[in-house]
Amino acid sequence: MELVIDLADVLSALLFIIPSYAANSVPAIFGGGTPIDLGRRFIDGERIFGSHKTIKGFASGLSAGFLVSILIGALFSVEFFVSSALISIGALGGDLLGAFIKRRLKLPPGYPLPLLDQLDFVFGGLLILYPFYGLSSGAVFLILVVTPAIHVLANMIAYLLRFKETFW
């Protein structure tokens, strides 16, 4: 099977990735405060999400994702606003699921888990968007190939700018 990527795939990937990246990255800058899990523990005795997933971070990520969605909707169409807003919600949900999995593996908050750290928010966005708007296989391929490198680079920059305590 041959995978063909065209300009429409690139545009779809960009329209997907921009709200996802905004929703996922902004909490590192504007997060902190009260944890989403309120310190509660799961049946395994570990925190549900951990101390790095905060209400303020979730709200700031959602706000950033929605602001990007408004911009995308104004530039393209209302349909893109709705899908961008859904992607933002999905990205944050995917990030929470990644944190939940890492706590089940007894990994501390902020501890790296390659590929899960770089793609959890992407899978969350793809999952919530899928019933309403299916991306082409070319667009999904682009997103999955490009995101890990961009994520690592963005984290290194955030670390150098002192927005993050670790470079991963």
Asked whether residue 25 is domain-assigned, the answer is yes
In a domain, 109, yes or no: yes
pLDDT at 28: 87
Residue 133 has a pLDDT of 84
**pLDDT value, residue 114:** 93
Residue 30 lies in a domain: yes
Q: Which domain holds residue 68?
A: 7-160
**In-domain check, residue 128:** yes
**168 domain residue, yes or no:** no
Q: Does any domain span residue 81?
A: yes
Do the domain assignments include residue 165?
no
pTM: 0.91
Asked whether residue 83 is assigned to any structural domain, the reply reads: yes
Distances (CA, A) of 19 to 3, 32, 100, 108: 25, 21, 22, 27
What burial class does residue 95 get, using C-beta atoms within 10 Å of its C-beta: 0-12 exposed, 13-18 middle, 19+ buried?
buried
Domain count, the chain: 1
pLDDT, one tens digit for every residue, the chain (168 residues): 688 899 999 998 999 999 999 999 999 889 999 999 999 999 999 999 999 999 999 999 999 999 999 999 899 888 888 888 999 999 999 999 999 999 999 999 888 999 999 999 999 999 999 988 889 999 999 999 999 999 899 889 988 998 888 877
